[in-house]
């Protein structure tokens, strides 16, 4: 759905997210609102970009 989107569209979609961010010593956790339409997409993206375990 976002594969053919223009950069401005992607930027607006990321800016308009309603997420709560919790930062601890070793990780950053994002809590998306239940109505966030892109939560699954962003979760998949974060998993794909995460560093491999040591």
**Does the pLDDT value for residue 6 go beyond 80?**
yes
- 1: pLDDT strictly greater than 70: no
Residues 8-35: tens digit of each pLDDT = 887 777 777 777 878 888 877 878 887 8
Q: Kindly state the average pLDDT of the residues 33-51.
A: 80
pLDDT higher than threshold 70 for residue 42: yes
- pLDDT for 37 equals 79
Is residue 39 within 8 Å of 32, Cβ to Cβ?
yes
Nearest 5°: the CA angle 32, 27, 8 is 50
């Amino acid at each position: 759905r976002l594969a053919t989107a223009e950069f401005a569209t992607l930027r607006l979609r990321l800016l308009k997210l309603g997420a709560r961010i919790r930062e601890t010593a070793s990780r950053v956790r994002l809590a998306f609102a239940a109505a966030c339409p892109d939560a699954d997409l962003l979760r998949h993206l974060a998993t794909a970009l995460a560093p491999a375990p040591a």
